[in-house]
A and B are shown apart, each in its own frame.
Chain A
């Protein structure tokens, strides 16, 4: 089981990778993260551990990413239904009298 700290963090954000990243990419990302020092060494190490463990990775994959395509598919394709209206707007003087 991962520690609470691991659960709260987003390892993908720390390592700046997406969930398709393979082992080699993860290791490169860890090295980069260590060099950039945006996160502590401990945070980077936990992130790596979380991503390398299939079970915690699956949990993070579920928690950290969303998929909106299935919802969008309900509405696509969208077509323009109306004709374009000619822009012909004249200033009304009605309000001048009121002012």
Chain B
């Protein structure tokens, strides 16, 4: 078939149509055809536009492909696409992408080269290449690989300088870092880094032991040549704790005190306290002084509440022991009087420190002051007892100090041997008690922490008179606390109290006074229970009287809230009176109760018209109130009867009966005269 010749117009029309639809590629071809037939300006313009748009589409397509390649990590293909796109468009953004890709490809090449060098055992070269890779990537992974290569290349110092800025977690990095540290002589740091390795491989453990030994030698060497006692102490202590090398023990202790000397100058008292807090079995006077002074400085300096108060409560234990210590106070002055003045000055300094805190209404400071007062009093006794004797002077210390350093038994022996020194048995027992196993409980008691005091009583007392005294006293005061607070521990507290009353009757008096002061029913219940417990063991006159009074007071209180009736009240009051016939409260209450009972019985008899019974009650009663009640009733009855609308015969009959009943009670009562008058009138 013959090909149909297309006209210029139809070609142009098709080209325009394609152009309008945005199909620039086909439109360009059609415009080219049309341009060959006839040259027109607008065709040239349209051709330019079509070419431009076609190029744009190509660029877009290339970028799309480049992205796809990037996603597939085919960076070189992506780069080719971007480069082609840039050749067409010359856009800056495409150029930037080409640059970035080039950098990545270069890094990747470096990393590959580094890996190859490492595999070939060229660690120094690998390390350099990893450094270059890091310069481009800024990734720590490259630095870590560099550091590991440096270790393998035996360039330990460089390795350490790279490792030290990295966060290391895996065993490989930690091991190699530690190894590099060891090789540059930083054995302590090496061991600390290796401590973070969880694996317990035998080779590794052997190597760790070897480094520990090298460190120990190094510590000994440095001890003889340098004065960095803080480091020597820390490193020596580490070895001592981790390896148990006892040959280091003395060195560690020696360095500790040299470091303490430096810390004291720098006023680093917290660190000193941490260093000396692990109290030794025996204590030098100089060490007592160190404890005391550190406590003082810390109490003075500490900014935080908890810190300050921990040291305040420790202050009395150490400070008083130090200022009363024979050797330490001997340095105050050679003159005894001046020595004592300086001691008192030092005591006053510490006391002011505690009191200043108490002034700020601080509860813990108040507790510290209580402890201070106890310690201050006790140490005076012990000092008076033992301070001037060479064999016993070392025993002058506070109870808590004695307990801490195992001096309590000796002090108790000293107290026992000098019983006559004390002004009375209780002073003797009390002094000993603070140094006994019940001592801590006594401190709580003095601080009015009754529950704590009771709960910290020693489980076994084993006949020790001091601890027994403490136990009795704590139980007694805890008992009083229970009586006031309503705790139900009365039996446990008061069953032993009679022994305490034998030591000092003051406690009995105190309990009785408190018993007399109570009025509330709950309180009365508790006090009566307590007194009953005591009465069964110790029926003393005081307890008997107090119990009797409590019984009557409690019975009335119960009666008033209708917990008991008249009858029960009566019985209880009689019992109370039997216990103590001089109990006026019971006596008066009993009389009142009897009258009340008679009145009730009288009212009952009268209401039921049991006149014989009513007369009998009144005749037998000694109460004027009962009599009055009877005659008031009779007078009302007579008056009502007389005014009643009733036949006279009946009235006379009833009046005569009334006369008879009244006469039986009192034949001279004025009512009889009134009734006679009425009878005469009616008759």
Q: Which residues of A pack against B, CB within 8 Å? A: 1, 4, 7-8, 54-56, 58-59, 62-63, 66-72, 74-76, 78, 80-82, 84-85, 87, 89, 91-92, 94-96, 98-99
Contacts and interface: CB of A to CB of B under 8 A. Distances in A.
A67 B172 contact: no
Given A67-B289, A71-B284, A91 B220 contact: no
7 contacts: A68-B286, A72-B253, A78-B254, A82-B220, A89-B179, A89-B183, A95-B172
A89 B287 contact: no
A51 B284 CA distance: 28
B521 interface: no
Given A55-B341, A75-B253, 5 more contacts: A80-B217, A85-B214, A92-B179, A92-B207, A98-B172
B204 A63 contact: no
A66 B224 CA distance: 24
Given A75-B250, A84-B217, A98 B199 contact: yes
B254 A62 contact: no
B247 A92 contact: no
Given A63-B293, A94-B201, A75 B172 contact: no
B290 interface: yes
Given A91-B152, A99-B171, A82 B348 contact: no
A62 B204 contact: no
A72 B213 CA distance: 25
A53 B473 CA distance: 46
Given A55-B338, A78-B254, A68 B260 contact: yes
Nearest to B252: A75
Contacts, number: 126
B203 A94 contact: yes
Contacts of A4: 352, 356
B181 to A, nearest CB: 11
A70 B224 CA distance: 20
B408 interface: no
Taking residues whose C-beta sits less than 8 angstroms from the other chain, chain B's interface range is 35 or more
Contact of A68 (B176, B182, B290): B290
Contact of B170 (A62, A68, A85, A99): A99
B255 to A, nearest CB: 9
Contacts of A71: 253, 257, 284, 286-287, 290
B223 interface: yes
Contacts of A84: 217
B254 A95 contact: no
Chain B facing A: main interface SS? helix
A59 B345 contact: yes
Nearest to A70: B286
B345 A95 contact: no
A5 to B, nearest CB: 11
A98 B171 contact: yes
A82 B213 contact: yes
A84 B215 CA distance: 10
B193 to A, nearest CB: 12
A89 B172 contact: no
Nearest to A92: B203
A8 B253 CA distance: 31
A8 B356 CA distance: 12
A1 B348 contact: yes
Q: Which 8 A-B pairs have the closest CB atoms?
A: A99-B172, A68-B257, A70-B286, A75-B250, A95-B175, A80-B220, A75-B254, A95-B172
Interface in B113-171: 151-152, 170-171
A76 B220 CA distance: 13
Given A67-B286, A92-B175, A72 B349 contact: no
Nearest to B333: A58
A55 B342 contact: yes
A59 B342 contact: yes
B634 interface: no
A99 B173 CA distance: 8
